[in-house]
C-alpha cells in the first residue's frame, strides 16, 4: 500500500490528498510536524520537502511529480484535458502556482501562525493529542527562525509580497472561472485542484480537510478576514463544495474512507 508522509495544512500536501481521494487510491497517511520532520524526510529523499509518497519501496517527493505518477497509473477520473492546448495550459497554471504564487502566499500565512505558537501547534499537530500539541507548542518558538528562513520570511516586505501574490491568485481564479466555473476546461482539472488547494490555506473552506481548528488564532483570523469577501474566495468554496467530498483529514489507512 502507498504511504503518504504529509503536513496537515499544506497546499502541496492537500493537492496530493485530493487526487488520492478522487481516484480512490488506497493508501496510508502519516502526518509530520514542521521541524521534527527533517530527519524522517531526508532519510527517504535526501531533501526536506513534503509531501512524500512511498510506493514499492520508492520514495517520491514533490506534489507535481507525485500527482503525475498517480494520474498515469489511475486514469479515472481524468484530471488532464484531452486537448493538447488545454493540457499545456493546465501544466502552466500548476507550475505558476507551485513555483511562484504558493511559496509567496505561504509567507504571510506562516508569519500569522507563528505569531501564536499554540495555534501553530494546533494547526500542524492536529493529529496529536492535546498534551502532545502543548509539547510541540514549546518547540515552535525555537523552530520559528528556521521556518522563517526556509520560507523566505525575511522582513515585512516579504510578507507584503505574499499578500500581493494572494490578491493576484484570487483575481486570476475569479476572472478565469467566469465562463465555465473552471480554470481551463468545462470540468475539474489539475489546474483547479492546484489553485483551490493553495487558496484554501487562506479561505479555509468549512467541512473540508483545510478547515481551521477552532477557535482561530487572532493573527490568522485577521488574515482570513482580509480576503473572505473576494470573488476568488467564493470560487474556492464552490470548488471544495462540489469536488472535495472529504470532510476531514485522517491518519492511518484510507480503506474506511472509500
Q: DSSP readout, 20-81?
A: HHHTT--EEEEE--TTTHHHHHHHHHSS--S-EEEETTEEEESHHHHHHHHHHH--SS--S-
What would the pLDDT profile of 188-224 be if each residue is shown by its tens digit? Answer: 999 999 999 999 999 999 999 999 999 999 999 999 9
Domains 2-79+248-257 and 84-243 share a fold: no
Top-ranked range on mean pLDDT: pick from 55-59, 227-231, 245-249, 250-254: 227-231
Cis peptide before 77 (omega within 30 of 0): yes
Does position 11 have pLDDT exceeding 70, yes or no?
yes
Per-residue model confidence (pLDDT) at position 256: 64
Tell me the domain boundaries of the chain.
Answer: 2-79+248-257, 84-243
Q: How many residues does the chain have?
A: 258
**Average pLDDT, integer, range 34-41:** 90
Domain 84-243 adopts which CATH fold?
Glutathione S-transferase Yfyf (Class Pi); Chain A, domain 2 (1.20.1050)
- Looking at domain 2-79+248-257, its CATH superfamily turns out to be Glutaredoxin (3.40.30.10)
The 3-state DSSP class for residue 116 equals coil
Euclidean distance between CA atoms 156 and 225, whole angstroms: 19
Euclidean distance between CA atoms 256 and 258, whole angstroms: 6
Q: Burial of 58 by CB count in 10 Å (0-12 exposed, 13-18 middle, 19+ buried)?
A: exposed
Amino acid at each position: 500500500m502507498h504511504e503518504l508522509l504529509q503536513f496537515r495544512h499544506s497546499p502541496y500536501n492537500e493537492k496530493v490528498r485530493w487526487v488520492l481521494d478522487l481516484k480512490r487510491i488506497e493508501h496510508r497517511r502519516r502526518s509530520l510536524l514542521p521541524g521534527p520532520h527533517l530527519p524522517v524526510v531526508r532519510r527517504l529523499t535526501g531533501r526536506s520537502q513534503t509531501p512524500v509518497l512511498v510506493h514499492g519501496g520508492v520514495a517520491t517527493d514533490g506534489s507535481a511529480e507525485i500527482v503525475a505518477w498517480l494520474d498515469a497509473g489511475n486514469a479515472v477520473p481524468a484530471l488532464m484535458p484531452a486537448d493538447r492546448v488545454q493540457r499545456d495550459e493546465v501544466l502552466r497554471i500548476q507550475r505558476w502556482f507551485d513555483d511562484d504564487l504558493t511559496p509567496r502566499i505561504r509567507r504571510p500565512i506562516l508569519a500569522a501562525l507563528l505569531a501564536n505558537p499554540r495555534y501553530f501547534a494546533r494547526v500542524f499537530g492536529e493529529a496529536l493529542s492535546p498534551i502532545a500539541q502543548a509539547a510541540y507548542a514549546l518547540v515552535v518558538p525555537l523552530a520559528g527562525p528556521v521556518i522563517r528562513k526556509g520560507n523566505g520570511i525575511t522582513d515585512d516586505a516579504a510578507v507584503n509580497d505574499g499578500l500581493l501574490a494572494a490578491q493576484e491568485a484570487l483575481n486570476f481564479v475569479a476572472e478565469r472561472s467566469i465562463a465555465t466555473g473552471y480554470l481551463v476546461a468545462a470540468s475539474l482539472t489539475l489546474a483547479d485542484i492546484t489553485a483551490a488547494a493553495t487558496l484554501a490555506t487562506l479561505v479555509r473552506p468549512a467541512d473540508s480537510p483545510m478547515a481551521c481548528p477552532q477557535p482561530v488564532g487572532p493573527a490568522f483570523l485577521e488574515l482570513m478576514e482580509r480576503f473572505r469577501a473576494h470573488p476568488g474566495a467564493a470560487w474556492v468554496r464552490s470548488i471544495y463544495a462540489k469536488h472535495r467530498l472529504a470532510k476531514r483529514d485522517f491518519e492511518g489507512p484510507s480503506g474506511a474512507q472509500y
